Amino acid sequence: MQHNPNYDRLAPKWEFARDAYEGTEAVKRGRRALEYLPMTKQELAEQRALGVSRHYEIRRASASYENFFRPIVNDVAGFMQKNPPTVKFGAVSDSESPAEVRAIRWYGNRYNDGLAGLKQRLNFAQVLEGRYGLLLDIVCGGDGRDAQFSITEYPAAAILDGETAPFSPDAPSAAEWILLDESAREFDRAEKIWRWRPRYRLLGLDANREFYQALLDVDPLDRWRSFDLLRPPLELTRYPMYRGRRLHFIPFTVCNANHLGFDFWEDPPYLDVAHLAVGNYQIDSFYKTALQNHASPTLVVTNADRPDPNIALGGVIWPTSRGGQPITASLLETSGRGLAELRAAKEFTKGALRYTSVRDLLEGAGANSSAEAIKLRTSTGTAAVAAIDQTGARAIEEQLVFASIWAGASRHEAMDRITYEADTSYVVTELQLQTVSNFIAQNEQHHILSREALYRLLNKSLPGVLPPYEDNARQLESERGGKPETGRGKPR
């Protein structure tokens, strides 16, 4: 089918990133193996003449794919799980939100691992492909009761197309319609075999601006082409409801690396590292071939009948002179100068990782680097990670806001109650305790920041020492015998 042009542009990059992450099996023997290790002109000629290029197969078999892309993706995604996020379901107390909304924190998805598991998978997808989709849905028991909120997750390749309306401050979501690919292998119980079943899920708003879902699983392409988005056919459509309440927006969030929204299309943030890994694999194929040729000299015999073709180096040959001419035997060897150049090319490729590797940034920039250089590189690297982390947190918060609205809250109430903030205190800061203390003294006179904001600033200069703000307020209350001072609301 015809996709969004941006989808067609990015789909090969997502596949490239996935293959580079998966490793040797995908790169050397996967669907795009010939793209990752192209044939030379001589190998192509051999392929056309014989149907197979023996030299290419030897070169591919001997090459090693060093997967230094996977640890970087794992390091970056794992680093975002270092600090637990701040999760609130009420401006004062979590009880301001219904129990069904609060349950998302602990369950709320098909894996029943709550927001912690969702954040791990979301951050991983942001780092690997730079795109992930979240759909707030309603699941019920077999009797249609016990409705619960559940966040369904969609990888980048499953978000096929969509359209957004102009921005409106009153609309929680700007999506007009979203087309999702849910094709999968399904077990045929009658024939006891697995079959590939194409299936699309359409999320849309009808002419009354009511949210519906349509499942296209029979002739999906034909049905999609003839589908009326504003007047969907009833036999294909359902209107999800929570306690009899329908939505007037599509509760779908597209989370990219640094932006939210379907209209933002970003390359995988560490795609350059994947290209370095595959490039190193290509160089290694020539290096190993040259090494093999250099280590295997050719025996040259002149003025003699052809010796036994099965003779190997280290064996003995007894040639018969041809025409009474003196017999000569020598070894033809290649120069090793090219090997040094190929080895240097491999080291240069790996050396380029120092500009992108978060592992290098976090573990130090080397013994010969100055303290300022290490601080600069570490701060830059972790700041980029923090931006991805904060974007993912906004996506999860948006889903929680959608659930609060569906449960009956107004948009303003939902945004005031719900907080999901990533703790990015791993970002290097130059704030010293004395500087913070001086700022607190100045703030008492000029009232720049709230007490809660000041407390967070102090907590950054003493990580792991201070309790959460609310806990500290309760401790102050018990010590003073008065009411705690708590901050309300948050900047949006």
Q: Higher model confidence: residue 57 or residue 380? A: 57
Quote the pTM value: 0.77
Q: What are 215's two structure tokens?
A: 């499942």
DSSP 403: H
Report which of 425, 383, 416, 424 is spatially closest to residue 397, judged by C-alpha positions. 416
Strand order in 237-238's β-sheet? 159-164, 175-181, 200-205, 211-216, 237-238
Cα dihedral across residues 328, 334, 337, 339: positive or negative: negative
Q: What does the pLDDT look like over 58-76, one tens digit per residue?
A: 999 999 999 989 988 998 8
Check: CB of residue 16 under 8 Å from CB of residue 274.
yes
Q: Sorting pLDDT into bands at 50, 70 and 90, what band is 370?
A: very low
Check: CB of residue 185 under 8 Å from CB of residue 139.
no
Q: What does the pLDDT look like over 99-146, one tens digit per residue?
A: 999 999 999 999 999 999 999 999 999 999 999 999 999 998 655 577
Q: Using a CB cutoff of 8 Å and minimum separation of 24, what contacts does 481-486 make?
A: 485/451, 486/92, 486/452
pLDDT of residue 447: 77
Q: What does the pLDDT look like over 258-279, one tens digit per residue?
A: 999 999 999 999 998 899 899 9
Cα 160 to Cα 5: distance, rounded to the nearest angstrom:
10
- Using alpha carbons, list the distances in angstroms from residue 27 to 24, 31, 406, 429, 436: 5, 8, 45, 40, 51
Of the listed ranges 15-29, 137-151, 355-369, the least confidently predicted one is 355-369
Q: What are 54's two structure tokens?
A: 């023996």
Q: Does the pLDDT at position 482 exceed 90? A: no
Rounded average pLDDT over 212-227: 93
pLDDT of residue 476: 82
Check: CB of residue 301 under 8 Å from CB of residue 70.
no
Residues 6+ apart with CB under 8 A from 475: 467
Q: Name the one residue in this structure whose structure tokens are 């795009």.
A: 32
**pLDDT-above-90 percentage for the chain:** 55
Q: Higher model confidence: residue 334 or residue 221? A: 221
Q: What does the pLDDT look like over 146-186, one tens digit per residue?
A: 789 999 999 999 999 999 988 777 778 889 999 999 999 99
Q: Name the one residue in this structure whose structure tokens are 């009880």.
A: 95
Q: What does the pLDDT look like over 284-323, one tens digit per residue?
A: 888 888 776 665 667 777 777 766 666 665 666 777 777 7
Q: Does the pLDDT at position 195 exceed 80? A: yes
DSSP helix/strand/coil, 312? coil
Rounded average pLDDT over 22-26: 96
pLDDT of residue 26: 96
Cβ atoms within 10 Å of 157's Cβ, excluding its own: 15
Please, what is the end-to-end C-alpha distance for the chain in angstroms? 39
Of the ranges 249-263, 305-319, 421-435, the best mean pLDDT one: 249-263
Report which of 34, 29, 31 is spatially closest to residue 44, judged by C-alpha positions. 34
Q: What are 231's two structure tokens?
A: 């007047």
pLDDT of residue 346: 66
- Residue length of the chain: 492
Q: Sorting pLDDT into bands at 50, 70 and 90, what band is 442?
A: confident
Max CA separation in the chain (angstroms): 118
